[in-house]
Structure 1
Amino acid sequence: MNWILLILGGLFEIGFTSSLGKAKETTGSTMYLWYTSFAICLVASMTLLIKATKTLPLGTAYAVWTGIGAVGTVLIGIIFFKEDISFWRIFFIITLIGSILGLKLVSH
């Protein structure tokens, strides 16, 4: 169950980083809506991380949480923010995904 909470926390991390990116692109009330989304996702992400670390090793949980956030944020950047895509970016994303899965497999 705590792995599910950790994955959800990682997804909310993608939400808060993406919201921050959108807030930088907008002005007025739209900007404040994105900052509100940022705050909600940040609180949700941290809360889920805290709950997950009650039974999962802290180092593993943090690495998986940041890895999910990093991979997701890079993919969101490529898909929605039109960031550059290159062989090396994809290579290291795949390497990071492999590391996340490896940590899950070796954790008790």
Structure 2
Amino acid sequence: MNSLFNEITETELLDLNEKFHCKKLLPEEFYNQLINKEIAYKNSFLISIFPDGNETYCGLIITQDKQIFEFDLDLRDSKYSNWINKTEDFQQKIAKNKKSKEAIALSLIERMA
């Protein structure tokens, strides 16, 4: 059962990030905010994303230097966007559960490098 979950999760993450890396997933302003935060979107990996209003998105991303950020981005005005570095929290979570979505995403970004 776990290996099937891992395959589904890996496939879902790869599909999500293929669209993300080709800039087909989100409006241009989303990518601009990543660039302003010095996150190289083509070398980063989305773990999750969901709309939180008309022009806002929340989620998790692993950056090119393997930092994990929780974000709440306001695409109309970036001064209302929030970034929280959750790397330490997720390192502990990943250490406890190597089959978590975050652990799978981290292994995928390591394979991309």
TM-score over 0.5 for the alignment? no
TM-score of the pair, normalised by structure 1: 0.31
Which has the bigger relative contact order, CA under 8 A and spacing at least 6? 1
Higher Cα Rg: structure 1 or 2?
Answer: 1
TM-score of the pair, normalised by structure 2: 0.30
Bigger fraction of residues in strand:
2
